[in-house]
Amino acid sequence: MVAFVAPAPIPALNCFNRCSIRQQVSLFLHAKTAFFWIGEVKSIYSSSRIKLNRRRTLICAVSQDAEEAFKKTVEVDRLIDMLRHATPHELGKLVAENILAFNEGFWIRLAARTDTCKSEDDKKDYEELAVSVMSIVDRLVHKTNEKIESSTDVLKGILKPVVDEEEEIHWPPRGPKALKTMEKEITQREQEGQLDEGFLSEVNAQLRQAKEDKDKPGLVAMLQKVLQLYASRVLSKRSYAKKGNEVLKAEQFLEHIIKAPEDDWNKLLIDGMTVGKGEVSPDELYAVIKKRIERTLIRTEGGSYQQRVLTEYLKGIQSRAEEIVQVLQGTPE
């Protein structure tokens, strides 16, 4: 089976400008060790100001590298200045676009700048800014919680054919109809736009947890299958097998494998490659896989779950092909 690696949470610093808003909020929710909920944020902001009043010392970052700490402080200051001068409409958009920036370091720095204000008016502006940002983040958190719950329901709907009334998992499915029903469910929900980044995030979170538990091999295999069916569906929507009136055999062969169940890959590869009974050389197959991965990287958002799932699926096909070649040619690993 193609082994999808459940990606670890992306580090917070310097990544928020590369992520979509939905990804940013989703990552914000999952990185509980790095970020603070609204009530805790208020506590951090208040306690930070008390400490600063006592010591008059600005703690910009907990880092042994002074240069790196300085860079982070400059980055936070730039964001604070942008927030201060933003209109109410711009403020909401700015907070959403930089959701991962609102960690403990941000609130400590904002408290420091509030404490060093020379006028009461400026201090009041900073305090009002803090309240506004907290309120916007709170709304984003609640909105994303609703989205994650919806994604969980979508996943439950897809898995329903292989889960009995007692919610016990049967994998492999007891009959071929269950898998076919799962496949139809994925196709329908993909057409309806339900298999979005939030859904893939939910599947990967469940997969990562199942692997950590180590006592649910059926659940791991089932979630792997969901990702395989998703990747097969999405990659099959676009064909590169024809160039004008010419049929590109290697591309056509790859697309045939992409659409096929993983259990059929061995036979297809043996029958299709020149090391077996076919007309496509391994190098030709590897070349079109590489090209398809490059196209996928271009057409998907960098660092997204979709990009990872699709590229891992393609790499899984290549790994299987390499194994077949080694066996048929008698090449040691």
Tokens of 214: 């180590």
Query: At 100, which amino acid appears?
Result: L
**Sequence spans of domains, the chain:** 21-144, 239-333
Type and span of the H or E element at 191: helix 176-191
Asked whether the whole model's pTM tops 0.75, one would answer no
Type and span of the H or E element at 45: helix 38-55
Q: What is the pLDDT of residues 140-189, one digit of tens each?
A: 777 666 665 688 888 988 988 887 666 666 677 777 788 889 899 999 88
Contact 180, 247 (CB under 8 A): no
Contact 102, 133 (CB under 8 A): yes
> CA geometry: angle at 185 spanning 169 and 146, to 5°?
80
Q: What is the pLDDT of residues 296-330, one digit of tens each?
A: 998 888 888 999 999 999 999 999 999 999 998 87
The mean predicted confidence, pLDDT, of the chain is 79
Tokens of 12: 């917070």
